[in-house]
Structures are given as C-alpha cells and as structure tokens.
Structure 1
Amino acid sequence: MPKGVTRRRPRTRAALLRAALETFAEQGFRAASIEQICERAGFTRGAFYSNFSSKEELFLALFDEHSERIVRRITELVDSIATEDLTLQGLVEVLSDVEPAERDWYLVTTEFTLHAIRDPQAAWVLARHDARLRAEIARCLREHLDRAGRTLTVDADELARLLIAVREGGLAQSYVEPDELPPGQLERRFLAILLTAVSAERTDGRPGPG
C-alpha cells in the first residue's frame, strides 16, 4: 500500500466514525445507510469498505472508542485527586459526571442493543465488547476504591453490571424528563450509599486518605 494511503487511513477511519455517530443519532441505526455515512464524511463506499465490513462493525468500533474514552477520562479525573483527598463522595462525583454529548451516544447504543436482542449473532458479538468494558470498569473500581482506603466485598464484574444498569436506566429517565431528573442525579444521591454497602475499610495497614 502506498505510504500516502497508509497515512490517510487513520484520518479516513476517524472521519467515518464521527459521521456514523452523527448519522446513527439522527436517523437511527437501522434507518441510517452506508451511503449517508459516506456522504457526511466526504468519502466513497470504497473508502468505507476498506475500513469496515458492515454497519455492525462500524458500530462496534464506535463502542470500543467510546468505552476507551470514558474509562480514560474517569481514570484521569480520579488520578488528579491526591490520595489523601480521595473519598467515596469524591469518587462518586467523577462517576456521576455526564457530558452533554453523551445523549447522542445513548440514542445510538440503545437502538443497537435492541437490534442485538432481536439478533442472536449481534447479541453474541455485543456481549464480547460489553465484557471487555466491564472488565475495565471492574479494574478501575478496585483500584480507585483501594486508593480511597476501601476494598470490595462483592464480585467486581457483577458490581460493574449494576453500575452500568443504573447509569443507562437513569439516563433513559433523564432524557425523557430532563427538568425532573438531570443526568447523573441518581448516582450523586445513591452511589455513595451503594459503594459503602459493597465495600469495607481496608485492614492491611496501608494508609488511606487522611
């Protein structure tokens, strides 16, 4: 492959991903066409198929990109808090934060989830990507709680499932009734209680926050 094409490929892929997110959010996953995505991105179908084999693969690339960005953002925010200042409530504030752009992603991922429920093959593939995201969330939970002087007393993967369910269920209600329930409000009110119930103070003698 010529060097110029090699250098352009990441930019082409990134443009297609941006266009896909916008198109999926506006049109819906099932209604959106590859042609619409290509037109918005300014590329041909050939450029699309040199990067993705289908709309499903494109969505899963979006899923992984979004997951990595969210986990990275949470980690950076928690790491910016000095260990002696890190409390459960401080951790909750980070976990409860919802960016305005999250609405578009919520629309896209909710519709694809419904598609996967109807399609066993799509469900199997989505479950694999969900599992990788949960593993990262579980790892972050253990590490961040450890820094806050606590250790989990429940399975981290199951807790990650619960937190995702709370997040997604809360956002569904928030986007229907934004004035009644601003995004992140349920987590801010109840997540500290939950994390306290499913963790215990560390007893290994290592210093937690002062």
Structure 2
Amino acid sequence: MTERVTKRRRETNERLLDAAEQAFAEHGFHGVSIAELCARAGYTTGAFYSNYGSKDELFLALFTRRSEIVVKQLGEAVDQAVVSEHPIATFIGLASVVDEETRSWFLISTEFTLHAIRNPEAAQALARHDAAIRAALAELIAPLLTTTPSKVTGTDLDMLMRFVVAVREGGLAQSLVEPAALPHGELERRFLPALLGGL
C-alpha cells in the first residue's frame, strides 16, 4: 500500500470517527444509522465497510481514540501531582474536571455499555477494551502510589481501578442529573484521597 493510499485511508477513518462521535452524542448509538454516519462524514457506505464491519467496531475504535486522549491527559496530571505537596489529592483534583468532551463521551459510552449488557458479543469486546484502559491507568498512577504506604499490586490493583472507575462514572451520572446537589468530581475529591492514602 502506497503512502498516499495509507494517508487517504487514515483521513477517511478520522472523518468517520469524528462524524460518529458527534452523531452518537447528539442522537445516541442506536439513533443513527450507518448510512447517516457516512453522509455526515461525506462518504458512501462503501467507505465505512472498508474500515469497519459494524457500528460496534466503530464504537470500539472511538473508545480506543478517546482512551489515548484520556491517558495522555492523566499522565500530565500525574506529572504535576508527584511534585506537589499532596500528590494524590492534587491528581484527583486535576483528574476530576468535567468538560463538554467528557460529558459527551459519558453519554456515548454509557449507551454503548447498556447495548453491551444486552449483547454478549459486544460485552466481551467492551470488557477487553475496559481491561486495557484499566491496565494503562494502573501503570499511570504507580508513581502516585509510591507516595503513600499503599502496597496494592496485581489483582488488587485491578480491583482498585474498577472501584475508582465506578466512583468516577457513578458520580458523573449523578452530577449530570443533579448538578446543584452534586458538583462534578465531588465524590472523587472528597473520598478517594483518604481511600488511596489509607490502603
């Protein structure tokens, strides 16, 4: 494959991902067809099927792209936190910020999670992607754990990551429904420093 063809394919894929992210955020995963996604991106369905076999595959590609962005952002937060007076609290404060992209992705990923719960094949694929992001996050926060007496490793560390994700996503769901009662990131900022520091 020539460099020119590879570049064109990459650009096509990025446009499909951008169109899907916008459409899923606006109308939901089930609220938009493949044909509508392609029209929004300016392509025929042939372009879609030359890159993906289904909408599920497209979502998982979006998941991978979003995960890379999040890991980069959290890596920058770790770099700032480890040189601060209170590393874990600083990291959680930086990591718990919610912007419009975070809100949109939460809507997209929550709907796909419900889809996966009803679809075993989608659930298995999502579980693999979730495991990969948990492993990346565990590696990322390792420098922070060295600032506490914590000795969490292996399976316990994966379970800790599951708990942190549960608090993050559960808190975000509640704060989007009741923003006045529960500001974004409040649960994480209030409880996670004590939890991580006391493990």
Counterparts in 2 of 1:152 and 1:67: CA distance versus 1, 3 Å: farther
- What whole-Å deviation, never above 9, does each CA across 1:112-141 have from its counterpart, x for those lacking one? 111111111111111111111111111122
Within a 5 Å distance, the mapping from 1:94-109 to structure 2 comes to: 94-109=94-109
1:152, CA displacement in angstroms?
3.2
Q: Distance in 1 between matches of 2:58 and 2:86?
A: 38
Q: Indicate the structure (1 or 2) with the bigger Cα radius of gyration.
A: 1
How many residue pairs match? The answer is 197
Preserved CA contact (<8 Å) 1:142 1:156: no
Q: Percent of aligned positions with the same letter in both sequences?
A: 50
- What whole-Å deviation, never above 9, does each CA across 1:178-202 have from its counterpart, x for those lacking one? 222221111111111111122xxxx
**Could you tell me which residue of structure 2 aligns to residue 180 of structure 1?**
181
How large is the RMSD of aligned CA atoms in angstroms?
1.8
**Could you tell me which residue of structure 1 aligns to residue 170 of structure 2?**
169
Q: Distance in 1 between matches of 2:81 and 2:122?
A: 39
In structure 1, stretches of 5+ residues that fail to align are: 199-210
1:84, CA displacement in angstroms?
5.9
TM-score, reference length from structure 1: 0.86
Preserved CA contact (<8 Å) 1:142 1:151: no
**Could you tell me which residue of structure 1 aligns to residue 161 of structure 2?**
160
In structure 2, stretches of 5+ residues that fail to align are: none
Counterparts in 2 of 1:150 and 1:98: CA distance versus 1, 3 Å: farther
1:57, CA displacement in angstroms?
0.3
State the SS of the aligned residue for 2:100: coil
TM-score, reference length from structure 2: 0.91
Preserved CA contact (<8 Å) 2:115 2:122: yes
Preserved CA contact (<8 Å) 2:171 2:184: yes
1:59, CA displacement in angstroms?
0.3
**Could you tell me which residue of structure 2 aligns to residue 192 of structure 1?**
193
- What whole-Å deviation, never above 9, does each CA across 1:10-65 have from its counterpart, x for those lacking one? 11111111110111111111221111111111112111111111100000011111
1:2, CA displacement in angstroms?
4.9
Given residue 193 of structure 2, which amino acid in structure 1 is its aligned partner? A
Runs of 4+ in 1 over 4 A off after TM superposition: none
Q: Distance in 2 between matches of 1:40 and 1:93?
A: 37
Preserved CA contact (<8 Å) 1:38 1:44: yes
1:94, CA displacement in angstroms?
2.2
- Of Structure 1 and Structure 2, the greater helix share is in 2
Q: Distance in 2 between matches of 1:177 and 1:7?
A: 45
